[in-house]
Amino acid sequence: GTVTELDAVLVGCRACPRLVAWREQVATVKRSAFREWDYWAKPVPGFGPVDATLAIVGLAPAAHGGNRTGRIFTGDPSGDVLYAALHAVGLASQPTATHRGDGLALRGVRITVPVHCAPPDNRPTTIERDTCRPWLARELALLRPTLRVVVVLGGFGWQAALPVLAAGGWSLPRPRPAFGHGVHVRVTDPRTGRDLHLLGCYHPSRRNISTRTLTIPMLHDVLRRAAHLARQ
């Protein structure tokens, strides 16, 4: 299969009852600013070219962001920060992301999430994380021929991504490296002998930005390093 085929099947997934209920409930209640919107209310696939050298792994779609627009990180404060930063370092064609027809294109980057449906309070359960894991495993397997770097935004994504890489045959160091901002782990793909670079980055959540846990220069720095490693 291809990533496009994978995405087409993904959007029909209803494996997590709590998340199915939430994504649909949010679409009914809406938020007053988005009253005119016909919410997506389905699993939100990854976004970006299928021959990406760099993958960015987030957390889950925002209820009124990706769950509304149908494109990951699109139409919410985290996405505003992320896409502006990707544009600033030359990885996105424009600094803003508002809807699926806004013309935004990513350069060699595929953004995805370990949980594809919007969770209440942005907090998926560990069962939901594990239920969604095969989708991330399949997506990374399809990107594998070109993939050089994975940037993981936040500890949740890190906890989700490492087992996927281990199960996919990438040789991870033992003990498993802990998540941290700026953490750089080099894992080998025994099939190709090539390195895959894993970079940790704090999630650009509204909270992390407002508390300056993650500053814009910190985000630019990780993305620049990732872009540099992806070109090697």
- Say if residue 101 is exposed, middle or buried (CB neighbours under 10 Å; 0-12, 13-18, 19+): exposed
In the complex, minimum distance from the CB of residue 131 to ligand SF4, in angstroms, rounded to a whole number: 4
207-212: which pairs have CB atoms within 8 A and are 24 or more residues apart? 209/77, 209/81
Distance CA 164, CA 176 (A): 13
Q: For residues 98 and 131, which CB has a smaller minimum distance to ligand SF4 in the complex? A: 131
Write the CB contacts of 183 (distance below 8 Å, at least 6 apart in sequence).
Answer: 177, 198, 199, 200
Cβ 111 vs Cβ 85: under 8 Å:
no
In the complex, minimum distance from the CB of residue 212 to ligand SF4, in angstroms, rounded to a whole number: 31
Q: For residues 19 and 149, which CB has a smaller minimum distance to ligand SF4 in the complex? A: 19
Distance CA 79, CA 82 (A): 5
In the complex, minimum distance from the CB of residue 77 to ligand SF4, in angstroms, rounded to a whole number: 22
Q: For residues 94 and 131, which CB has a smaller minimum distance to ligand SF4 in the complex? A: 131
Cβ 55 vs Cβ 165: under 8 Å:
no
In the complex, minimum distance from the CB of residue 40 to ligand SF4, in angstroms, rounded to a whole number: 12
For residue 67, how far is the Cα from the chain centroid?
14
In the complex, minimum distance from the CB of residue 135 to ligand SF4, in angstroms, rounded to a whole number: 6
Cβ 62 vs Cβ 122: under 8 Å:
yes
Q: For residues 131 and 159, which CB has a smaller minimum distance to ligand SF4 in the complex? A: 131
Q: For residues 120 and 177, which CB has a smaller minimum distance to ligand SF4 in the complex? A: 120
Question: For residue 24, what is the DSSP state?
Answer: H
Binding footprint of ligand SF4 on the chain (CB under 6 A) = 10, 13-16, 19-20, 43, 115-117, 128, 131-132, 135
Q: For residues 36 and 121, which CB has a smaller minimum distance to ligand SF4 in the complex? A: 121
In the complex, minimum distance from the CB of residue 141 to ligand SF4, in angstroms, rounded to a whole number: 16
